[in-house]
Amino acid sequence: MWIYEKKLEYPVHIKNKDLKLAKCIMAQYGGPDGELSASLRYLAQRHTMPTGKSKALLNDIGTEELAHVEIVCAIIYQLTKDATPEELKEAGLGGYFTQHDNALYPADANGVPWTAAFIQSIGDPVTDLTEDMAAEQKARTTYEHLIALADDPDVIDPLKFLWAREVVHFQRFGEALVDVQERLNSKRFF
């Protein structure tokens, strides 16, 4: 179980609307390489990890990814706050508005709804940790693309925080992979 603090892991204080950028940032909410996919992937994979250390790492990072979902949602909400239906339509969000109004719904930047098909959990710890490292690199790259698209420091700041966490998660998964491989090799598992 978790202890939940009712505040974002990193503050988001966006003052200006930017509906087109919000649409792009949705990739990190409901996209295949987004935070929701990462959190569910890691929280599922933790059960088949062979060491307490690797189970704990996946639990911790999976939980942190849920905090990142909150941050991404806060960014999107603040970028679209008080948008009119006409503004949403102009930004290419008319279909989204039709189905969800101004609510946050997990879809990618193209409006494709989130699906469990976006996550992978195969049960082999080496394969899963390698997949996790790749997932963190894809998320890092996506944040780099979003930062390149943004021009508002109020948006860029939390995006840079999220980018940095992807780098740290990649490193931790690499360490866990080495630890798991040593464990598996010491017992002659093939």
Tokens of 89: 């339509």
- The count of other CB atoms within 10 Å of the CB of residue 178 is 11
Distance separating alpha carbons of residues 35 and 106, to the nearest angstrom: 10
What's the count of helices (H) and strands (E) in the chain, helices before strands? 8, 0
Q: Is 144 known as a binding-site position?
A: no
Q: Is 82 known as a binding-site position?
A: no
Q: Are residues 75 and 166 in contact, defined by beta-carbon separation less than 8 angstroms?
A: no
Q: Is 131 known as a binding-site position?
A: no
Q: Is 68 known as a binding-site position?
A: yes
Tokens of 174: 């690499």
Nearest alpha-carbon partner for 37 in 46, 47, 27: 27
Q: Is 169 known as a binding-site position?
A: yes
Q: Residues annotated as binding site for Mn(2+)?
A: 35, 65, 68, 136, 169
Q: Residues annotated as binding site?
A: 35, 60, 65, 68, 136, 169
Q: Residues annotated as binding site for Ca(2+)?
A: 60
